[in-house]
Structure 1
Amino acid sequence: MKVAFNQATTMKYSTLQNDLELCETYGYDYIEIRLDKLRDYLREHAAEDLKSFFDTHRIKPYAFNALEFVTFRDKAGYQQIIDDLQFLCQMGETLACSTIVVVPTFDIGDYTRSQIKEETARVLHELAELAQPYGARLALEFCGYPNCSVNTFDQAYDIVKEVNRDNVGIVLDCFHFHAMNSRIQDLQNADPTKLFVVHIDDCEDLPVGALRDHHRVWPGEGAIDLESILSTLREIGYRDMVSIELFRPEYWEWDVERTIRVAKETTENIVRKYFEIG
């Protein structure tokens, strides 16, 4: 199992360059590049500078995170999604990074589950068609909040099956899986090749529907049944990667090097119980 670092974990005070250098120091295999940090980097550097870094270092890019709120958009909003997708596809060609995380929209009003499925499948199909010539693939990330249009694993997986494209899969985020009581049996029945990204994290012990990003904690220090999730991933044959992703303001205030070191240590401590690391 490879270990990745998601830049949300150092979102407030760090930069892409800083995260890369420290993740290289602490032996991460991959990084998930945040779109905002990538744009900040490109204000002072060229894409070829980033390519050169990856060409000469151990760490590699795994995914771009993220195209947000891609469904139920007006014409201008949807065009911005398409423009951002094209930008990331072009960057992906340069950096050899083929995965783009996409997030469904929140607070959509009184749409039914069938309408949500239809809209999300339509958008994923259209975006995947645009991404196909670049060799890019889209990973749908359900978010475990009551106001997210796609908020459980089974709902997201059903949509991905409906789209039925090789370049469309799912993000399994342990926090989001736990937050709205997604069912372990649904993961047990999943095709591991459709799991494009796995985010590992933990959280405080709050009721269903009450958890938010700032309740996340280091893996193994919270209430998520990581044992069931990781053992199920092993049983279904998933072996690709896990990416540590936290949005905890407390950790953003830490020294960035400490955050990246602790993220690696806590991730490996829990993952190595079920997988060989590296």
Structure 2
Amino acid sequence: MKLSYNEATAKGCSDLLTDLELCEKAGFDYIEIRLDMLEEYLREHTVGELAKFFKTSRLKPHAMNALYLYPEFLSDSDDAEKQRELMNEFLFGCEVSKAIGSHYFIIVPPLQRDPLGGPFIGDKEKTFADCVRILSKLSDIAEYYDINLCFELVGFNRSSVRSISEADRIIRAVNRKNVGFVFDSYNIYLNGRLNDFSQLQAVEPDKIFAVHLISGLEVPDEEMGQDKRCFCDRGVVDIDNFLGNLKKTGYQGMVSVETFNPDYWKQAPQQVIHEAFQTLEKKLLENKCI
């Protein structure tokens, strides 16, 4: 397996240029680029400069992060301006990906994004139909750019797709070569504190395009969320169980560190990225994944 870094990990204390330099120095194989940090980078730099960096660096781009869907997207009832805004975001990511040699795009199912707004309100069958429709249409566009779409379930109750089985049903229905999964250990755990990851073995193994290896802090259920993510050598997620089941699928691709923990953002990016690499490498070595 290959070691990857997701820019959310030091988002509050770093930028893309810094992340590129530090990830190269740390020894990461891949970096996942955040769209907002890419836009900030392009205020003073060019896509050509970014492409040149990757052409001469051992560090390579993996997935663009991320496109957040909403239920009506690309439907007859979609709001034209809202659709245009999200589609422009997607096309922007695809255009840059094509220029720099990235071939993956993280796609997040509809969420109720306000942490204080309560659970996602929606019917599972409608969610299934919405996600199949959207992924199918995005697949056609992504194919032109040689992009694979990585569908990411999120386990908390503000998400419309919370389990591996729900995500698997959607991916099988879409049935496109360039539509698969990104599996995030903490996002799976969020669904009822799930620490049995055996369901990973039920999906089509060649549909696993990316993996995020993350644990989380021990907090009450009502406080669980993305800001409680932590490095994989600590916390409440059974990382060994996750990696054991992942290995049984035959997966040999990238494994990425993605936290949104504001405590990490108070540190120097050098410290955050160094620790991200060290903890990821140690856990992968312990489980004979590298």
TM-score by length of 1: 0.95
Aligned to 1:86: 91
Secondary structure of the residue that 1:151 maps to in structure 2?
A: coil
Take 2:96 and 2:245, find their aligned partners in 1: how far apart are those partners? 34
1:169 aligns with 180
Distance in 2 of aligned mates of 1:37 and 1:241: 21
Superposition map of 1:141-152 within 5 A:
141-152=152-163
Q: Give CA-to-partner distance per residue, 1:31-69, whole Å, 9 cap, x none.
A: 000000101111111100000101111100001001113
The answer for the alignment partner of 2:233 in structure 1 is 220
Gaps (5+ residues) in structure 2?
Answer: 113-118
Equivalence map 1:167-206=2 (5 Å): 167-181=178-192, 184-206=197-219
Partner of 1:16: 16
Q: Secondary structure at the match of 1:102?
A: strand
Shift of 1:274: 2.2
User: Which deviates more from structure 2 when the two are superposed, residues 155-164 or residues 3-12?
Assistant: 155-164
Query: Which structure 1 residue ranges, 5 or more long, are not aligned?
Result: none
- For residues 211-269 of structure 1, what are the alpha-carbon distances to aligned partners after superposition, in whole Å with 9 as ceiling and x for unaligned? 20111111121110111110111111011110000111111101110000000011111
Residues 92/176 of structure 1: CA separation in 2 closer, same or farther (3 Å cut): same
Q: How many residues are treated as equivalent by the alignment?
A: 277
**Matched residue type, 1:171:** V
Name which of 85, 92, 101 aligns with 1:96: 101
When structure 1 is superposed on structure 2, of 199-208 and 223-232 the one drifting more is 199-208
Q: 1:163-198 deviations in whole A, cap 9, x for unaligned?
A: 010110111001001110455232121222111110
TM-score norm. by structure 2 comes to 0.91
Tell me what 1:251 maps to: 264
Task: Report the RMSD for the aligned CA atoms in angstroms.
Answer: 1.6
Letter in 2 for 1:153: I
Question: Residue type of the partner of 2:35?
Answer: L
Query: Quick one: which amino acid aligns to residue 186 of structure 1?
Result: Q
Greater mean alpha carbon deviation, residues 267-276 or residues 118-127 = 267-276
78-87 or 101-110: which moved more? 101-110
The answer for the alignment partner of 1:125 in structure 2 is 136
Distance in 2 of aligned mates of 1:70 and 1:93: 25
Percent of pairs identical after alignment?
33
Deviations 1:100-124 (A, max 9, x none): 0011122386421111000011001
Q: Which residue of 2 aligns with 1:113?
A: 124
Conservation of the 8 A alpha-carbon contact between 1:85 and 1:131: no
Paired with 2:276 and 2:34, the residues of 1 have a C-alpha distance of: 17
Match of 2:279 in 1: 266
Q: CA deviation at 1:210?
A: 4.6
Residue in structure 1 matched with residue 288 of structure 2 by the alignment: 275
AA in 1 matched with 2:100: L
